[in-house]
Amino acid sequence: MTGKAFVNISRVLVIDGRPEDIHALTSLLKHSQWQPTLAITGKLGMQLALASMFDLILLEACLPDMSGFAVSRLLKESMAANGTPIIFLTRASSIQDRLEGLNCGGVDYLIKPCAPEEVLARMHIHRKLARQQSSNRIDSSTQPPYEKLILQAAIHYLRANLALQSSLETIAREVGVYGKKLSAIFRRHLGVTVFTWIREERLRRSKELLVRTPMAIQDIAEEVGFSSACNFSTSFRLQTGRTPNQFRNEAAIDEPCRSTNHG
């Protein structure tokens, strides 16, 4: 037995297309309790994150092959990597970038250049928090196939951005694929196109808002992605045979009837 004390080594996956930007940090990591693994593309980072367990991921938003935000969305859907904290360490510095990074799965957002000692301190904090929550992690043996991760990430993104009028390529880019690939995944797994799914989801969401909230028709129209109450009403009537107000009134009549019958 040697006289050296046991050191608990943690594994960190660094996904960055410009490793020279973080040379000082990676040098510091190699002399700390962290074992860094470097991936210079988003796809390679995804493969490594899904194939092996890491204690933390440092992620650049501006990658050469796909958006770091897309990588984060996909990893958030992955059972294998869902409990792994993701810290964005990036040159993308706008408030929109920072909000997107935190909304798509990041636990922290640091802008380059950043003092390596500060990055290391934040890594220790998030590793400790993740370990406290590790009992809730899902068994990765039931990991869904990669296409299902893309589908789940796309659905969550679309539900959170239902009011946006985005092209197929824009939507696909948010989950790290091309438009044709995303369209094929929706057809293969759901039997509908991306925009058919969006239309059906807008209808489902609008029905929910009509029944459960007192929101004005104009506000509901904007919430689910229509430019005006008129366009919303026309589309709603074509799909349901009733205007939004008729649907809301019928739902209000049905609710007391169901309550009476249960009584």
Per residue in 65-112, pLDDT (tens digit) is 999 999 999 999 887 777 899 999 999 999 999 999 999 999 999 999
- Stretch 28-36: mean pLDDT, rounded? 90
Calpha distance 209→224 (Å, rounded): 10
| pTM for this entry | 0.79
Higher pLDDT, 159 or 258: 159
238 backbone dihedrals φ, ψ, rounded to 5°: -65, -35
pLDDT of residue 256: 57
Higher pLDDT, 117 or 227: 117
Q: How many CA atoms lie within 13 A of 68 on its CB side?
A: 27
pLDDT of residue 210: 95
Calpha distance 229→218 (Å, rounded): 5
Higher pLDDT, 2 or 52: 52
Angle between helices 146-160 and 194-212 (to 10 degrees): 50
Residue 7 has pLDDT above 90, yes or no: no
pLDDT of residue 31: 86
Residue 4 banded pLDDT, cuts 50, 70, 90? very low
What confidence tens digit (pLDDT) does each residue in 119-134 have? 999 999 999 998 887 6
| 37, 44 contact by CB (below 8 A) | no
pLDDT of residue 79: 73
Counted residue by residue, the chain has a size of: 263
pLDDT of residue 154: 95
- Stretch 32-53: mean pLDDT, rounded? 92
Instruction: Indicate where the chain has its CATH 1.10.10.60 domain(s).
Output: 146-262
| 56, 87 contact by CB (below 8 A) | yes
pLDDT of residue 3: 45
Residue 263 banded pLDDT, cuts 50, 70, 90? low
113: cis peptide before it, omega within 30°? yes
Higher pLDDT, 150 or 78: 150
What confidence tens digit (pLDDT) does each residue in 162-207 have? 999 899 999 999 999 999 999 999 999 999 999 999 999 999 999 9
Instruction: Indicate where the chain has its CATH 3.40.50.2300 domain(s).
Output: 10-142
Is 10-142 a CATH 3.40.50.2300 domain? yes
Percent of the chain with pLDDT over 90: 75
Domain 146-262: homologous superfamily in CATH: Homeodomain-like (1.10.10.60)
- Stretch 114-123: mean pLDDT, rounded? 94
